[in-house]
Amino acid sequence: MQQFSDAKAVVRAIEPDEPVILTRPHAAARAARFFVEKFPGTSMYAVKANPSPDLIEILWDNGVTHYDVASIGEVRLVRGLLPEAKLCFMHPVKTSRAIKEAYFQHGVKTYSLDTLEELEKIVAATTDDRGKAAEDLSLLVRLRVSSEHSQLSLASKFGVDLADAAPLLQATRQHCDALGVCFHVGSQAMTPFAYVQALERVRAAIAEAAVTVDIVDVGGGFPSIYPDLEPPPLEDYFAMIHRHFESLPISYSAELWAEPGRALCAEYSSIIVRVEKRRENELYINDGAYGALFDAAHVDWRFPVRALEDDLIKPLAEFAFYGPTCDDADYMAGPFLLPEDIQAGDYIEIGMLGAYGAAMKTDFNGFGATEGAIVMDEPMSSLYRGDRPDPRASDNVVSLR
Ligand SMILES: Cc1ncc(COP(=O)(O)O)c(C=O)c1O
């Protein structure tokens, strides 16, 4: 892939007709090293956030050895790239065939579950042809926890309720070498107290089940930075998690795991789009709801933007975007702040799209073609550069009274 200093250099060199996905390997490497060095346990990359092989190799090269794979496609992808990596199949609803292939062909020993039926399915699928049950399984029971502190809820679909957790933990203990508890506080958790609350629920579940727990997996949810979403430093999350993990009634050698997706890859990518038409304060751009901007359309996520035309500082105005397809739903309300005189033919860089951006692209309506380039400049914002004002002064941190 061609390398440029920044997005403006890309536009000058190729005046692209299609959107250009920019990648910043240095930003992903920095995020990986941050988690590897500072998270007080094992950081397992949630591949769904961005399954780009280039990214997965960057994370591996920078110390990320565990991967949360949630489909057989992700299992095959990561195993093909990284024969030595530890893969954990963290989707609580899997097919028997997917489990069989993962266990017998790809060496996957770790699975999550939230029902007795799934436990039975895993046990049956990992029993060999002579009827010998697997003795090397790590099984993590997913607990339902609140998503109240997060921007995207993950509280409805998966997870056993606390009231039903004890019998499931006890039954699971019978079939595994290592027993774990996992949860997900929802994506972009804006305060570390989200994890404190969830760990309190873990404590209650373990106490009631009276089982030995070997792994506590605090899931994903670690935030990135977007306009109006400035989280406290990640070190605060790590410190709180570590303190509460240490006080749980678990085996003395129990392991702490996390499954960061967004926080490891949000800074990795941005995209260059072109304005094809302006109608008052609506800009028709060449990527959208069915492309890398799914979240901007479907959950009104405000990604940072900048115009790439010139260096003059101009008054800004608020704009909404339409994507390239014929659907009315291909609309992103924003508002996105751009120079008030922006017009058709101008280029815009939309930042922080490394997580759940490029990964969501489709070819719907014949759109979806993109070019790619590597850029060397900084992402539009960073949790890892060490130069941002301490947001603890703001009211992001919710106190637990
Ligand atoms: C099981 C599981 N783990 C980890 C993640 C990654 O979450 P995040 O990107 O918020 O860190 C997800 C996201 O949906 C998930 O479902």
- Among 227, 223, 247, 246, CA closest to 235: 223
pLDDT band (50, 70, 90) for residue 265: very high
Give the model confidence (pLDDT) of 86-110 as tens digits.
999 999 999 999 999 999 999 999 9
C-alpha angle 62-244-65 in degrees, rounded to nearest 5: 20
pLDDT band (50, 70, 90) for residue 222: very high
Residue 222 in contact with ligand 1 by CB distance below 6 A: yes
Place of tokens 């949360």: 68
CATH code for the structural domain at 40-259: 3.20.20.10
Residue 187 in contact with ligand 1 by CB distance below 6 A: yes
Tokens representing 268?
């990795």
Ligand 1 atom closest to 356 (CA) = 9
Give the model confidence (pLDDT) of 224-239 as tens digits.
999 989 999 999 999 9
**3-22+266-375 fold:** Lyase, Ornithine Decarboxylase; Chain A, domain 1 (2.40.37)
What does the pLDDT read at residue 124? 98
Place of tokens 């995020």: 31
Tell me the average pLDDT across 44-48.
98
- Do the two domains 3-22+266-375 and 40-259 of this chain adopt the same fold? no
Domain boundaries of the chain, sorted by first residue = 3-22+266-375, 40-259
Residue 357 in contact with ligand 1 by CB distance below 6 A: no
Residue 90 in contact with ligand 1 by CB distance below 6 A: yes
- Pocket mutation for ligand 1, best pick of 68, 114, 217 (most atoms within 8 Å of C-beta): 68
Does the pLDDT value for residue 390 go beyond 70?
no
Does the pLDDT value for residue 397 go beyond 70?
no
Q: What is the mean pLDDT of the chain?
A: 94
